[in-house]
Amino acid sequence: MNAADLPVAILTYNQSEVQKEGVEWIAMPNDANQYAHDLYQTLRMLDARGFRQLIVESVPEKAEWDAIRDRLQRASY
C-alpha cells in the first residue's frame, strides 16, 4: 500500500466544502488553550481510526501558540 491509498485527515480552522473519499476534515478551535487541549485527543482518535497521513493548517504566529507550533514541528519529523 502506498501513501496515496491511505486515509488523510486535515486539521483546520475552516472545514472545507470539498468532500473526497478518504479525506476527513477536522475543525480545530481558534483558541490556543482549547487547541492544545484538543490536539492530543484528536491525534489519538485519528491514530485509532487508522489515519497515517495528517495535514495541519499552520497555527497563528502569536506567543500563545508557540508551544503548540513547537509540538507540531517536532511531530512532523
Give tens-digit pLDDT for 38-72: 998 999 999 999 888 899 999 999 999 999 999 99
CA distances from 71 to 1, 20, 57 (A): 28, 28, 14
Query: Looking at residue 3, what is its pLDDT?
Result: 55
Query: Looking at residue 5, what is its pLDDT?
Result: 64
pTM of the model: 0.79
The residue to which cell 479525506 is assigned: 23
Q: Which domains does the chain have, with CATH numbers?
A: 3-75 (3.40.50)
Query: Looking at residue 13, what is its pLDDT?
Result: 79
Under the banding of pLDDT at 50, 70 and 90, the label for residue 77 is low
56: which residues sit within 8 A by CB, 6+ positions away?
Answer: 10, 11, 72
